[in-house]
Amino acid sequence: MGHLKIATFNINGIHARLPSLLAWLEREQPDVACLQELKAVDESFPVAELHAAGYGAVWQGQKSWNGVAILAKGSDPVEVRRGLPGDAADTQSRYIEAAVAGVLVACLYLPNGNPQPGPKFEYKLAWFERLIRHASTLYASGHPVVLAGDFNVVPTDDDIYNPRSWLKDALLQPASRECYRQLLEQGWTDALRTRYPDTRIYTFWDYFRQHWQKDSGLRIDHLLLSRSLAQHMRDAGVDKWVRGEPHASDHAPAWVEIEMGAEAEARTKTTPAARARRRASGA
């Protein structure tokens, strides 16, 4: 009570990872969980299992690839938008937006962009430009907003174990980093980097070359906070233990905790009956 824990987790296949997902929810109890890479069609989303675990959900699936979802503990997220505006021809399931506990939650899965250069990298940059435009309207709204997801961008060389072998990768390209910088310039707070200004912190360790065992990671999953949320950030971190479990995703969940003030608490946790009582008492 008194705070809101918002997490983002690229689960790399919700069917392959359902036991892992449920174990993480049970242990860490995030209030909000943004998921990416469901790799599942809408009809197969495990809504019953998640309900049994105490979570409501909205989701946008897709066959084989992509797919995003927002989970909320003890409530159903109120879907605000699915799909990133700006390109009606874009059919990839990479963006969903919902209101949870008085916070507007944007769950995103930015295109990987490899191989680079090429059409996939062009799509990544175009998608990023659309995100920058949409994010500016969200930020300007003044509402509490979090942009959470797999951004597929290593913001700086301090966000990777060693950039040398990744120099040609789409995740480290100057154009990708420039987009991320432009996004932050709107005023967003990078929760993990702000919480740990001088520490190497990773959210992704690929399956190759024993990178997990050697802690050769990348920081590509981000939680960007609007001004009012950033002012109330209490803590942030990465649930690294998840990456060490058997049959783990190549990502670990990243999270932020927001202190909920009395006003937000009253607005978000209150029931219709309680609101009626408060009105009746003249409060």
**Using the rule CB under 7 A, is 260 a contact of DNA?**
no
**Using the rule CB under 7 A, is 207 a contact of DNA?**
yes
Containing 19, the helix (H) or strand (E) segment is helix 18-28
Site for DNA in 34-53 (CB under 7 A): 39-41
**Using the rule CB under 7 A, is 163 a contact of DNA?**
no
Joined tokens for residue 266: 């009253």
Going residue by residue from 164 to 193, which x/- string records binding to DNA, judged by CB under 7 A? -x----------------------------
Instruction: Using CA atoms of 159, 188, 35, 12 in order, give the dihedral in degrees to the nearest 10.
Output: -20
Nearer to DNA by Cβ, of 67 and 77: the residue is 67
Joined tokens for residue 128: 């990023």
**Using the rule CB under 7 A, is 114 a contact of DNA?**
yes
Question: Total number of residues binding DNA (CB under 7 A)?
Answer: 21
Question: How far is residue 182's CA from residue 190's CA, in Å, rounded to a whole number?
Answer: 13
CA nearest neighbour of 142 among 263, 80, 230, 227: 227
Catalytic residue among 109, 139, 180, 202: 109
Going residue by residue from 240 to 259, which x/- string records binding to DNA, judged by CB under 7 A? -------x------------
Tell me if residue 109 is catalytic. Answer: yes
Question: How far is residue 53's CA from residue 89's CA, in Å, rounded to a whole number?
Answer: 36
* Helix, strand counts (H, E) of the chain: 8, 12
Nearer to DNA by Cβ, of 218 and 225: the residue is 218
Question: How far is residue 89's CA from residue 141's CA, in Å, rounded to a whole number?
Answer: 27
Residues that bind DNA (CB under 7 A): 12-17, 39-41, 63-65, 111-112, 114, 120, 165, 207-209, 247
